[in-house]
């Protein structure tokens, strides 16, 4: 569906609430897996809910997701899991993964940190380095997470193996298609996990801009020319919807929609070169020429309160 999902303020608020409810519900089952009845079925339901929201309007879904992720009212762990699941879903579509692998990958993304949900939330709030006990929790959470999932009724072996392996950084140069399925999915999840962690703010540091994070992933050690990294950039662009950019004329914009070119999205210019709020914001297709995007910005660089409904209304029936 096109941007008709934001035809009025009520529809925008409803859609934002659906994403927020999805994130909150996920946080509840990740925080209390032992007391969640039919845990595997609940995860499948959240997966289907997420995909249905993205099918309504993928760019709008990404916009709301990135806004939620940088201003999340729930724990970091649930927000991170949802961002990773969405990115894995889009990469799976881009790579044409078989349905069984696609499903296992997304569900592994939703549950990969289940053995350290509380610890992950703690780490996001603390400014000091992890203690020895915390470091041990980080080091062992992947294998422990797979064991926990098995103990609470998850029977899908590919899902469990992907969780167990997702922190093992591949040193291989083997083509993705030639890897064993669990290794293939674990490598995709590892790349996505790193990217999502980079863009997320924590007390100890600001989140990095999405562009900086994407470039680090694409050009980083052992990932040079990696096909997963390229698929990630194709899927969401160098500047995904919902992230902020500075234009060459020093004005600030928020990305609204992707285009066929990863670095030429549709944006709404929201701040003047002097930093004053533009009322109304100005729609700009970067593919049509100047001003071009000069750099990406972190969400913390935006101090003005924006009316996201009005911004998204600019993009109704617009394409980049």
With a threshold of 0.85, does the pTM exceed it?
Answer: yes
Q: CA–CA distance from 277 to each of 68, 146, 188, 298, 314 (Å)?
A: 21, 48, 39, 17, 16
Task: State the virtual CA torsion across 146, 151, 157, 159 in degrees, nearest 10.
Answer: -50
Neighbours of 99 (CB within 10 A): 8
Domains and CATH numbers, the chain: 3-236 (1.10.3210.10), 244-314 (no CATH)
List the chain pLDDT tens, one digit each, 320 residues: 344 457 788 888 899 899 999 999 999 999 999 999 999 999 999 999 999 999 989 999 999 988 877 665 467 889 899 999 999 999 999 999 999 999 999 999 999 999 988 877 777 777 788 889 888 878 888 999 999 999 999 999 999 999 999 988 665 578 898 999 999 999 999 999 988 877 655 444 444 555 565 566 555 544 445 889 889 988 988 888 988 889 999 999 999 999 888 888 999 999 999 999 998 899 999 998 889 988 888 777 788 888 888 888 886 656 54
Q: CA–CA distance from 38 to each of 34, 149, 159 (Å)?
A: 10, 11, 16
Among 68, 70, 99, 106, residue whose Cα is nearest residue 85:
106
What phi, psi does 196 have (nearest 5°)? -65, -35
Task: State the virtual CA torsion across 81, 57, 70, 254 in degrees, nearest 10.
Answer: 150
Residue carrying the six token digits 């007390």: 203
Q: What are the start-end ranges of the E strands in the chain?
A: 244-247, 252-257, 266-271, 277-285, 293-297
| Cα(228)–Cα(232) distance, integer angstroms | 6
Count Cα neighbours of 69 within 13 Å in the Cβ-side half-sphere.
33
Among 85, 98, 80, 76, residue whose Cα is nearest residue 54:
85
Asked whether the beta carbons of 86 and 50 are under 8 A apart, the reply is yes
- 102: buried, middle or exposed (CB in 10 Å: 19+, 13-18, 0-12)? buried
Angle, CA of 248, 72 and 163, to the nearest 5°:
100
Cis peptide before 280 (omega within 30 of 0): yes
Beta bridge partners of 72: none
Tokens linked to 216: 């680090």
């Amino acid at each position: 569906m096109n941007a008709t999902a934001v035809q009025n303020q009520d529809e925008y608020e409803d859609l934002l609430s659906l994403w927020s409810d999805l994130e909150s519900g996920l946080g509840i089952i990740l925080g209390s897996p032992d007391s969640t009845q039919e845990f595997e079925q609940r995860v499948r339901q959240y997966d289907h809910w997420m995909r249905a929201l993205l099918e309504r309007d993928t760019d709008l879904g990404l916009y709301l997701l990135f806004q939620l992720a940088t201003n999340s009212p729930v724990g970091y762990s649930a927000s991170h899991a949802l961002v990773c699941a969405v990115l894995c879903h889009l990469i799976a579509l881009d790579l044409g993964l078989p349905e069984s692998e696609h499903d296992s990958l997304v569900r592994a993304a939703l549950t990969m940190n289940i053995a350290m949900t509380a610890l992950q939330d703690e780490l996001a709030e603390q400014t000091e380095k992890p203690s020895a006990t915390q470091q041990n929790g980080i080091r062992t959470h992947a294998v422990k997470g797979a064991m926990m999932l098995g103990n609470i009724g998850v029977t899908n072996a590919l899902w469990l193996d992907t969780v167990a392996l997702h922190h093992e950084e591949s040193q291989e140069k083997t083509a993705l298609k030639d890897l064993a399925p669990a290794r293939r999915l674990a490598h995709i999840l590892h790349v996505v996990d790193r990217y999502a962690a980079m863009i997320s703010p924590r007390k100890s540091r600001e989140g990095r801009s999405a562009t900086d994070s994407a470039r680090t992933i694409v050009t980083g050690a052992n990932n040079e020319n990696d096909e997963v990294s390229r698929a990630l950039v194709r899927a969401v662009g160098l500047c995904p919807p919902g992230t902020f950019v500075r234009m060459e004329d020093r004005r600030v914009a928020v990305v609204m929609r992707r285009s066929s070119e990863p670095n030429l999205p549709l944006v709404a210019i929201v701040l003047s070169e002097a930093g004053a709020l533009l009322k109304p914001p100005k729609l700009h297709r970067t593919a049509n020429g100047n001003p071009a995007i000069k750099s990406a910005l972190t969400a913390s660089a935006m101090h003005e309160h924006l009316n996201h409904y009005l911004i998204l209304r600019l993009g109704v029936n617009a394409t980049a």
